[in-house]
Amino acid sequence: MRITPSRLVVLLALAGTVVAGCGSADDDEPPQDTAMPMGHTYISTEVEGGAIPGGGPMTLTFADGRISAHSGCNTASGPVDLSEHTLRVDKLTSTLMACTDGRGEADAWQNSFLEADPRWHLDGPTLTLTGDNITVRLTDKEIVHPDKPLTGTEWVVTALLTPDAQVRSTVLDEVAPNLTITEDGRVSGHAGCNRLTGTAELGPGESVTFAVATTKVMCAPDVMDVEQQVLRALDGHTTATVDADTLTLRNDNGHGLVLHTE
């Protein structure tokens, strides 16, 4: 069949319409929302529909397919499903600490909210959880409580780490061992009984190698025991991890320290 110029123009116009139609359908398709809260910790900054008993805040940590939740008393944890923008948990396990000052009711409030399958929406650092009657807005912990610098900060020991346990005691709280690392690697502080001095070689990543010494004053046996454990943790190579206002030192010998700062 012979195609006249006029028919050719019509056919080309129709083809252009089909191509344009296909292109517009792809262009109108909404982008996929791939942002996920997994790998982050969020702290509540606003609650609508009822306050958290005891004042909160609610802290949610998402890691390795699990959630850890704390709203003022005990910490609950367990597997979490975030598919279809709904937060689903099943039978969270919890610590068993008794709390007062209204915080004792925080656990029931928290578990009731999380187990009701709230919808979640992530907008940059802001995570919003929407339940039937309560909406909780949380902000990434790195913004609410940014990491303190390792150097130039006075760190106070609040727990001793052994190869088998994390140890706290009234003696440790009373003597409050502390240390400060300067930018040029000098170390000063208090080991529990004696003054502490030395050096800290800051290596790549989280590597810190300590070489410290103390004065030679003798204190009560329980105080000297705390000091020896502190010095054992500061003997040689350690891994130093800062999380907000908490510094964790883990020595290659299996001992370590948990330290806090204001």
Residue pLDDT, tens place only, 84-140: 999 999 889 998 888 888 888 999 999 999 999 999 999 999 999 999 999 999 999
Same fold, 41-144 and 154-260: yes
Instruction: Of 67, 219, 44, give the one whose Cα is nearest residue 134.
Output: 44
pLDDT of residue 33: 56
Both structure tokens of 36:
């996920």
Residue 149: is its pLDDT beyond 60? yes
Determine the pLDDT at residue 198.
Answer: 98
Distances (CA, A) of 1 to 4, 7, 13: 9, 11, 19
Query: Residue 242 pairs with which residues in a beta bridge?
Result: 247
Mean pLDDT for the stretch of residues 75-82:
96
Yes or no: say if 110 and 71 are a contact pair by the CB < 8 Å rule.
yes
Tell me which DSSP letter residue 230 carries.
H
pLDDT at 34: 73
Is the Cβ–Cβ distance between 15 and 23 less than 8 Å?
A: no
DSSP string, 58-113: -EEEEETTEEEEESSS-EEEEEEE-GGGB-EE-S-EE------TTGGGHHHHHHHH
- Min mean pLDDT across 1-5, 75-79, 116-120, 136-140 is at 1-5
Which tokens hold the place of 34? 């791939």
Q: Which residues of 88-127 are buried (b: 16+ CB within 10 A; e: fewer)?
A: bbeebebeeeeeeeebbebbebbbebbbeebebebeeeeb
What's the CATH fold of domain 154-260?
A: Lipocalin (2.40.128)
Q: How far is 80 from 145, CA to CA, in rounded Å? A: 24
Using CA atoms, how far apart are residues 149 and 130, in angstroms rounded to an integer?
Answer: 35
Asked if the model's pLDDT at residue 29 lies above 90, the reply is no
Q: Which residue has the tokens 């399958």?
A: 117
What pLDDT is attached to residue 241? Answer: 96
185-231 pLDDT, tens digit per residue, is 999 999 999 999 999 999 999 999 999 999 999 999 999 999 999 99
CA–CA gap between residue 190 and residue 174 (Å, rounded): 12
Which class would CATH give 41-144? mainly beta
Q: Which amino acid is at 40?
A: H
Question: Which residue ranges make up each domain of the chain?
Answer: 41-144, 154-260
User: Rounded distance, CA 94 to CA 177, Å?
Assistant: 31
Query: Beta strand 256-260 with 186-190: parallel, antiparallel or unpaired?
Result: unpaired
Q: Half-sphere exposure (CA, 13 Å, Cβ side) for 188?
A: 6
- Cβ-proximal residues to 87 (8 Å cutoff; 6+ apart), any chain: 67, 80, 81, 114, 117, 118, 119, 120, 129
Residue 57 to residue 106: CA distance in whole angstroms:
10
pLDDT band, residue 248 (cuts 50/70/90): very high
pTM of model > 0.85: no
Bond prior to 57 in cis (omega within 30° of 0): yes
Residue at 222: amino acid letter: D
Mean pLDDT of all residues in 157-182: 95
At residue 117, what are phi and psi to the nearest 5 degrees?
55, 60
